[in-house]
């Protein structure tokens, strides 16, 4: 099973939980880390915005440490687009480029999808359509 298949399986396994997490944060963008054991580790959107998110590097480092202390590992940064499709915005692309190789999962109005920055651009690696 390849990387893309693993992310597709992860999205399918936690789809309902991701949907509930997103609903809880509407109208703002929800933010979390997804773990290898299929957990959603909540993060705070410090922008408190419905069209962008920000989490400090300190909070990200603390989250990774907490996840690791449970014998788990962070495998993706997750956020929602409450009123837009699951397509990386300009800000998302800049973050992805800075964190090259990190998987970003986006819940949009049309689907949930995983993306990664590779070879100087965004590459989609998995998706699950809504409905």
Per residue in 66-123, pLDDT tens? 999 999 999 999 999 999 999 999 999 999 999 888 999 999 999 999 999 998 899 9
Look up residue 4 and give its two tokens: 């893309």
Report the phi/psi class of residue 71: left, alpha or beta, with left for phi > 0 and alpha for psi in -120 to 50: left
Q: Where are the domains of the chain?
A: 3-129
Beta strand spans in the chain (E): 31-35, 40-43, 74-80, 103-107, 111-118, 121-129
Cβ neighbours, 10 Å, residue 75: 21
pLDDT over 80 at 2, yes or no: no
Look at the chain and count its residues.
Answer: 131
Entry pTM = 0.93
- As a whole number of angstroms, the distance between CA 2 and CA 13 comes to 17
Class assignment of domain 3-129?
alpha beta
């Amino acid at each position: 099973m390849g990387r893309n298949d693993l992310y597709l399986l992860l999205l399918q396994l936690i789809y309902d939980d991701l949907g509930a997490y997103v609903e809880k944060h509407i109208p703002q963008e929800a933010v979390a880390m997804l773990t290898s054991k299929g957990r959603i580790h909540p993060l705070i959107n410090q922008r408190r915005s419905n069209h962008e998110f920000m989490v400090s590097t300190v909070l990200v480092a603390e989250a990774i440490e907490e996840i690791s202390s449970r014998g788990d590992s962070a495998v993706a940064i997750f956020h929602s687009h409450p009123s837009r499709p699951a397509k990386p915005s300009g800000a998302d692309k800049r973050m992805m480029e800075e964190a090259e190789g990190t998987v970003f999962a986006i819940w949009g109005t049309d689907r949930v999808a995983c993306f990664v920055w590779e070879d100087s651009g965004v590459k989609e690696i998995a998706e699950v359509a809504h409905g």
